């Protein structure tokens, strides 16, 4: 892979916990991974993005890998349009239409069989739970034992679907950022999206916190209701709930600022409700 320098005209348009996104030219964007991201993680997204071309899903076509001064970059077709998060930020009354678009996009994703390149969701969660350091060893082992009893399936799971991962176009929603894609159970994918919506950022101002948390609760409730309606009985609330414990434990490994204390509280509440036999 030929090394490139970041061209002067490349414009930074977004930055997340693992990558920066640049407008490479009029038709393409560059996802440039931050130095702390492992080569395996970057290569995995590249391989998944290439494999997803066989799925009949609205995606940003993947072009090629680039080496940008020692950092791996992935070049994608640029999709014109705002993200779902941008739409909600500008027009909060559009929350429900965005949640419906997100639920429909996820239903289409979960209806596909995952390509062979995808990791098994159990294996991904097991790795994250094993490598987080916030839980005690006993708590970690209980969560891992619980995870082993959950079903293994071969559906395509995005693994990180939230409004910021939707590009809204006149033709419909395009889903981006497949770094957490896996082969697994649709109920787990729904649970992960619900968790992302429900957590939200930490807010210190009490009044603002009430307003933001109320909005997050509404978004999570609306998404869940719409996703269950689209599932037509193939996914239930009970199935979704069973995945929240391991998903919250795995989330600890992502080290999202402001989340650890809230996650630990919820994890320990759920562990306390497990039958004593689950500790074995």
Domain residues for 221? 84-279
- Domain boundary among the residues 57, 77, 97 is at 77
What is the predicted pLDDT for the residue at 153? 98
> For position 30, which CATH number holds?
3.30.200.20
- Domain boundary among the residues 60, 77, 94 is at 77
What is the predicted pLDDT for the residue at 125? 99
Q: Are residues 245 and 147 in the same domain?
A: yes
Q: Are residues 222 and 275 in the same domain?
A: yes
At 243-274, the pLDDT tens digits run 999 999 999 999 998 899 999 999 999 999 99
- Domain boundary among the residues 49, 77, 105 is at 77
Report the percent of the chain where pLDDT is more than 70.
Answer: 93
Q: Are residues 16 and 123 in the same domain?
A: no
Q: Are residues 44 and 169 in the same domain?
A: no
Q: Are residues 211 and 90 in the same domain?
A: yes
Q: Which of the residues in the chain have pLDDT under 50?
A: 202-205, 207-210, 278-280
Distance CA 122, CA 197 (A): 22
């Amino acid at each position: 892979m030929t090394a490139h320098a970041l061209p002067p005209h490349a414009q930074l348009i977004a930055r997340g916990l693992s990558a920066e996104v640049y407008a490479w030219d009029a038709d393409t964007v560059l996802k440039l991974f931050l130095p702390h991201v492992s080569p395996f993680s970057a290569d995995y997204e590249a391989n998944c993005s290439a494999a997803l071309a066989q799925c009949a899903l609205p995606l940003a076509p993947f072009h090629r890998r680039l080496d940008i001064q020692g950092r791996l970059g992935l070049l994608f077709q640029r999709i014109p349009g705002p993200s779902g998060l941008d739409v909600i930020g500008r027009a909060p009354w559009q929350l429900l239409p965005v949640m419906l678009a997100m639920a429909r996009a996820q239903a289409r994703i979960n209806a596909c069989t995952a390509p062979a390149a995808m990791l098994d969701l159990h294996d991904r969660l097991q790795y994250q739970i094993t490598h987080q350091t916030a839980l005690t060893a006993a708590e970690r082992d209980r969560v891992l034992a619980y995870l082993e009893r959950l079903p293994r399936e071969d559906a395509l799971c995005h693994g990180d679907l939230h409004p910021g991962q939707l590009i809204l176009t006149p033709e419909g929603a395009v889903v981006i950022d497949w770094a957490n894609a896996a082969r697994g159970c649709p109920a787990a994918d729904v649970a992960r999206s619900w968790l992302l919506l429900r957590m939200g950022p930490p807010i210190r101002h009490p009044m603002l916190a009430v307003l933001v948390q109320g909005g997050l609760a509404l978004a999570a409730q609306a998404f869940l209701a719409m996703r269950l309606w689209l599932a037509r009985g193939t996914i239930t609330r009970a199935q979704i709930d069973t995945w929240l414990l391991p998903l919250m434990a795995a989330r600890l490994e992502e080290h999202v600022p402001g989340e650890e204390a809230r996650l630990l509280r919820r994890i320990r509440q759920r562990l306390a409700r497990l039958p004593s036999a689950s500790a074995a």
